[in-house]
Structure 1
């Protein structure tokens, strides 16, 4: 477990930390402020696992905390702070952490560990907007990882539509499985909203669109399609619209991001197709939505499939894999194997060919 001790508000750090520093098994993080910084505090590093967070901003200090916690594979953080400190830190928590982390706040009572700072009305000011601006400025100055931002283009999509497939380079996500241009926020991942938002901003700057109108599918590994302008479902794996100025996006990795465009009716779509969504027909559900909702003709719809896992590296249990043979026998090259390889890219191509959408 990690313990974060908030020393920024002028309280006696010795009184706050004495007991914690005696526990050699805890990872103790001391969030310093100007007053603590100006005092002699050699005792701060007396613990075997004591970390001093003394950066130029609270955002940077807490990001340093997160990096260390991630490196140690910890997820429970006990926070010792004041009522005002809890209010502020909860904003940083929302922006720099996710639900993977459990925060347990121990608020020090006025007559105990908390010392009044005498700032008057500042205690009642909402820190939310100021903290959001601080965090945003901090992540914007982080170096891009794995090289520059790179966007792949399809020769199929007409020039009247801006489009592209992002790669893994140029973002600020440092979690190994997400590094570096992660664009998808999840409560089950360690990549926080501030980092994902910054990745989206950098991609938008590179690709020439504004990040605010970006609409990302809410993955459910099914075939539900949201038509923008209608009530938004709780989850969906595809979106379609004829609205101008809107950017549609779908995540991909092993799963496929698929882009749809109709240059005649000026309709676009984006879908996330994993193996479950492929079997459930998410690609054709997207085409059907364009036809039904906007009058598109199937022959006018152009489809581009983005990077995804290849047949060489993707296997399923035999019962699941054999379902793909109902699409085409070529989709499962080794059906007798206990873990057959599956070509989900080919499966989606055959599905679209059935409706003459390419």
Structure 2
């Protein structure tokens, strides 16, 4: 059963349709209380229902839908039905397909309204996607997007950085607002993610259409741009100018590698699994193998990452980190046979072992994601959670 009901009184505000839809709603309620009832209206109107109702007023249907989604996101509502006239059923289905994600279990009930006004015109279905794209550009404040740069990566040769979570269009609190990753578990539609990436690209100076983001599996597979990509990969390398490669994170390390001689670059995601598997070493090796990178010419930057004091795991799983340096792990205070692990230091050590000079490794942006709420954090926020990315491109 749908937890909430949205009542469309905006596309046809005639008294005939209003009364008929409200009667239909009463029948659907049948004495059962729903988590939320939202009325979409183009103007103020008096509504009498057996349950309290929240009214949204706007002459823009996309605005009405987005604000209804925001209300439901705030209460973590994912199941709902919209009641509208049969004439508007296809239109609202198209809007919902672009506005909501696979997390949402929605339906549109089209009611055959007798004596509906003959002059009523259904909005163009073909223009829905472009209307939502344009609407998203008006949401929130893009000026809040903040880019974090590494002073070690030469800005005349590379465009590289990380970012904070503000300035986007995502509404659900754990993923608000600059969530850059679309997944089946998040309530952001692909159009919302595209807008967030557009804003990030605008602030950072890259073309979002040329953005390649790792499809992570917490492993160490690396995709060489230009070759057939694996189904999943935690790192990307390229030497193609203008192609921006990126790795996501939400506690896991995002590590950027820049070859200051050849222009090759890499971006790799390394959580505890990727760290213990040596994902950053695999990324560096791919640059060496594909572009003849000399590790001594590489500059590395590690982005926001969960601090060791905010993270623990079974000692047996952390053994590769402990083997790098026993000081990188220490006993957990809350879990027997668990340890804290410093992922940042572990990844720094692996880069050093593979020939990257310690003076070429920048950890100044490795803020703790759990402690600093300007970043997304799986451990702090639970599921669903948002993702930031670390990005890099070669300017040529």
Q: Name the TM-score, length of structure 1 as normaliser.
A: 0.86
Shift of 1:255: 0.8
Equivalent position of 1:25 in the other structure: 33
Q: Distance in 2 between matches of 1:231 and 1:84?
A: 46
Task: Tell me which residue corresponds to 2:79.
Answer: 76
Q: What residue number does 1:157 align with? A: 153
The answer to whether the 8 Å contact 1:322/1:335 transfers is no
More strand by share: 2
1:225-264 counterparts in 2 under 5 A?
A: 225-264=222-261
Q: Which residue of 2 aligns with 1:148?
A: 144
> How many residues get paired?
345
**Aligned-residue offset at 1:31:** 3.1
Structure 1 stretches of 4+ with a deviation exceeding 6 A read 114-117
Of 4, 10, 15, the residue aligned with 2:20 is 15
In 2 relative to 1, CA 138–324 (structure 1 residues): closer, same or farther, beyond 3 Å? same
Distance 1:208 1:201 in 2: 10
The corresponding residue for 1:302 is 299
1:88 matched to 2:91:
yes
Report the secondary structure of 1:100's partner residue.
Answer: coil
Separation (CA, whole Å) in 1 of partners of 2:292 and 2:344 = 27
2:247·2:255 contact (CA, 8 Å) conserved in 1?
yes
Shift of 1:100: 1.3
Counterparts of 1:347 and 1:321 in 2: how far apart (Å)?
11
Q: How far does the alpha carbon of each residue in 1:234-264 deviate from its partner, in whole angstroms, 9 at most, with x for none?
A: 2221111111111112122311111111122
Partners of 1:50 and 1:238 in 2: how far apart? 48
Contact 2:312 2:332 in 1 (8 A): no
Among 267, 270, 273, the residue aligned to 2:270: 273
Deviation of the 1:46 alpha carbon: 2.8
Q: For 1:304 and 1:356, how far apart are their aligned partners in 2?
A: 15
Is the CA contact (8 Å cut-off) linking 1:82 and 1:114 kept in structure 2?
Answer: no
SS at match of 1:326: helix
Please give the residue correspondences for 1:91-110 in structure 2 after superposition, counting only pairs within 5 Å: 91-108=94-111
Segments of structure 1 that go 5 or more residues without pairing to the other structure are: none
- TM-score (norm: length of structure 2): 0.78
The residue number in structure 2 matching 1:113 is: 113
In the alignment, the residues of structure 2 paired with residue 31 and residue 156 of structure 1 have an alpha-carbon distance, to the nearest angstrom, of: 52
Query: Over aligned residue pairs, what C-alpha RMSD do you find?
Result: 2.7
Q: Quick check: 2:40–2:64 contact (8 Å CA) kept in 1?
A: yes
Q: Quote how far apart the aligned CAs of 1:280 are.
A: 1.6
1:19 to 1:162, Cα distance in 2 relative to 1, 3 A? same
Q: What are the ranges of 5 or more consecutive residues in structure 2 without an aligned counterpart?
A: 362-396
Q: Per-residue deviation at 1:351?
A: 1.4
Q: Is the 8 A contact 1:136 1:194 kept in 2?
A: yes
Tell me which moved more, 158-167 or 83-92: 83-92
Using the TM superposition, name which of 318-327 and 51-60 deviates more.
318-327
Match of 2:211 in 1: 214
In structure 1, the partner of 2:391 is: none
Q: Distance in 1 between matches of 2:227 and 2:144?
A: 37
Task: State the 1:287 CA deviation.
Answer: 1.1
Change (3 A) 1:223 1:94: farther
Corresponding residue for residue 127 of structure 1: 125
Checking the alignment, whether the CA contact within 8 Å between 2:10 and 2:59 is kept in structure 1 is no
Contact 2:25 2:83 (8 Å CA) reproduced: no
